[in-house]
Structure 1
Amino acid sequence: MQCDPIERKLSASSIPDRPASFHAMIGPHSSQSVTRRLQTSISVILNAGAGGTDPQAFRREVEQELSVPGVAYDIVEIKPGTDFLEIGRQTVLRAKQTGGIVVAAGGDGTINTVAGLCCELGVTLGVIPAGTFNYFARDLGIPNEPAAAARLLLTGKTEQISVGYVNGRIFLNNASFGLYSKVIRNREDHKARFGRFRLVAVYSAVVSLLRGVRPFMVRMRVGNEMLLRRTTMVFVSNNALQIAKLDAKVAETTPEDGMAVFVLRPTSRLDMVRLLLRGAFRQLANDPYLETFCTDAFDTETNKPYVDVVVDGEIVRCEAPLSFRVAPRALGVIVPAETDTNDHPEAIARQSSIDAEGVAKAGRDAT
């Protein structure tokens, strides 16, 4: 059971048998921490087209922060038409041989690809976010500003985090099938026409959700229990920030090494508007059209031999049945040393307010 890329030339990474060992970092104000990082090479993989970023300005900010005595770094720029996966693999292999770290500079799709390679080969990951939503970086408390995120590479600590897999393909934020694949296709079309802005993405998503998709039957095995459901979408998330935005109560009960599963029942257009508004204000708990549960593993199948799955915003074609798993503490990521990465209430509240306004406006426009 494997996933083959549809939208981009990407491939799956295998789940490690056990968490790989990573270089332990100490706090940002420790001279020992700085000394260790200075002895480590830093390779930055920059996706020049992520999130409408100006690649030259972005690169200058990163270079300025990393250009300090004793720091060895290089920047590998991914341009349109190049083999992202092969370049990424070679970069991670070099870091593996030298004991260096690899930094993904781009959106969630870019970070997903590099993270999969780092997890597979046991290399520490750094992140400089440059996408539209940047859920993964925000969940870990990594700054959105390129300069601040680059500075963190020299002052942060390495933390082992859990990651999700669907048929051997890593996901850091979510994996979904059904209606969400239609949402992503339409979102990319709208972004190509109107620009890669958050409001465009939110508006496109709302319009796609209101138009709906034909319901289908899905069988899910969770532990010893078999669930048979008629649904339009199955959405799986292992990102605490994203789960909290959907349902605060579910977020509270989802363990660090678990994932939240949302099963959407068929709805009318009016019920979908109501559901979207409730979701915007994080009030989805006990909604009659949304079934939720938490688990660390489950299998699912439909009547089709292949399923188009959205993995961290990228559509991949997976052979059925689908197997979802959590690999506990399998990936080392550089995070702020002074921040508890499991709890960012201010960031969650602030972003929920922003997204709520966008969803409410898009819902009014669509109806």
Structure 2
Amino acid sequence: MAERPEIDTGSPLQFVINAAAGSGEADTVREAIEDALTAAGRRGDLLFCNGGDLARVAQKAAQQALATRTAVVAVGGDGTINTVAQAAHAVGCAMGVVPRGTFNYFARAQGIPDDTGEAARCLLDWAPQPVQVAAVNDRVFLVNASLGMYPDLLEDREAYKARFGRSRWVAFWAATVTLLRAQRKLRLQIEQGGSARQVRALTLFVGNNRLQLEQLGLLPEPQAAGSPVHAPEQGSLTAVMLRPIGTLEMIGLMMRGALGALGEAQSVEHFAFERMVVKPARMPGLRRVKVAFDGEIARMRTPLEFRVLDKPLYLLRPPPDAMSKTGSEEAGR
């Protein structure tokens, strides 16, 4: 395991703020963060940027955080958090999160408040704690990665948000439309633990977030006493495959998902793993496929290797005893 970074409270925190996220509320974000810093007698550099400059600014901020023994802080949604995590994980500096997204699965699973000001105040008191990081090929992901229908769903969701605004209801409606018109089927070869098999699926989804999988009813069954733990954020990932089904079955599946019982559906297969290689079976020569990771979409070279990384991300978050309480509260939401 990588050495836990130390935080010099005299060095300014590096806040990477996606100015395109959060409906243009840059002044509100600035005021909330500056108020938190002033109240705690701390300093911070607020680095506003657009989506095109985000990766470059995040890399520079992470290097500065490492050199000055402080943390780089992502302020934005899942895509912003992923980009900053890529940079922080690569250089080995500590990272903080001030969530500004729609669902905030990563932040909520880590006990980080949704409110901008409260999140900024809390991270000033927290120490870096190790967090499991996953990767698909060379791209880090914290919540999920997928191919097939799910990347299409994300593209449709962004189009609907551009027309109707950012809200969970808009995201739900976009998902409904995508699911009901899903037709493209994947033919994949999956290699895991020395064996290989071919499958047909509408989507392959890999989860690294306990909260998201729990809400869908897709967490692995509890392990017997003394047996190894196989769960997201505890050394494993969870793969979910949706087999091709008709429209009526899809409607029933959506209802199961809304009720947190997706794992009971016969058309859904899910299993835990630490490393899995995926290749196109129908077109072995296909070199690139569309992959989504933490809300971002890219074309990636095949084969795709999904795995848990040995090196953790060191995140400013509540201590483990406080995390247990937060987990109980989230389960009741």
- TM-score scaled to structure 2, two decimals? 0.91
1:325 is matched by which residue type in structure 2? Answer: R
1:48 to 4, 7, 19: 19
1:215 Cα deviation after fit? 1.3
Change (3 A) 1:288 1:188: same
Change (3 A) 1:329 1:241: farther
In the alignment, structure 2 segments of 5+ residues that lack a partner are 223-229
Distance in structure 2 (CA, Å) of the matches to 1:343 and 1:44: 25
Question: What are the residue-to-residue correspondences of 1:327-366 with 2, within 5 Å?
Answer: 327-328=309-310, 330-337=312-319, 339-340=322-323, 344-350=327-333
Contact 2:218 2:270 in 1 (8 A): no
1:130 Cα deviation after fit? 0.4
Question: What are the residue-to-residue correspondences of 1:38-187 with 2, within 5 Å?
Answer: 38-52=9-23, 54-68=25-39, 70-79=41-50, 82-187=52-157
Change (3 A) 1:348 1:226: same
Distance in structure 2 (CA, Å) of the matches to 1:249 and 1:75: 38
Change (3 A) 1:118 1:251: farther
1:68 Cα deviation after fit? 4.0
Contact 1:187 1:205 in 2 (8 A): yes
**2:214 aligned with 1:236:** no
1:139 Cα deviation after fit? 0.6
Query: Which stretch shifts more, 37-46 or 264-273?
Result: 37-46
2:10 is matched by which residue type in structure 1? Answer: Q
Q: In the alignment, what sits opposite 2:226?
A: none
> Using CA pairs below 8 Å that are at least 6 residues apart, which structure has the higher relative contact order?
1
1:172 is matched by which residue type in structure 2? Answer: L
1:155 Cα deviation after fit? 1.1
Distance in structure 2 (CA, Å) of the matches to 1:271 and 1:307: 27
Change (3 A) 1:23 1:117: same
Structure 1's consecutive aligned runs of 4 or more residues displaced over 4 angstroms after TM superposition are: none
Contact 2:111 2:326 in 1 (8 A): no
Q: In the alignment, what sits opposite 1:224?
A: 194
Q: In the alignment, what sits opposite 2:250?
A: 272
Query: Which stretch shifts more, 119-128 or 88-97?
Result: 88-97
Distance in structure 2 (CA, Å) of the matches to 1:95 and 1:217: 44
1:285 Cα deviation after fit? 2.7
Change (3 A) 1:224 1:325: same
1:298 to 253, 273, 276: 276
**2:231 aligned with 1:254:** yes
1:295 is matched by which residue type in structure 2? Answer: F
1:324 to 274, 295, 306: 306
Change (3 A) 1:345 1:278: farther
Distance in structure 2 (CA, Å) of the matches to 1:115 and 1:99: 17
Q: In the alignment, what sits opposite 1:204?
A: 174
Compute the RMSD of aligned alpha carbons.
1.8
- TM-score scaled to structure 1, two decimals? 0.83
Distance in structure 2 (CA, Å) of the matches to 1:97 and 1:307: 37
Distance in structure 1 (CA, Å) of the matches to 2:183 and 2:141: 24
Percent identity of equivalent pairs: 35
Distance in structure 2 (CA, Å) of the matches to 1:249 and 1:315: 25
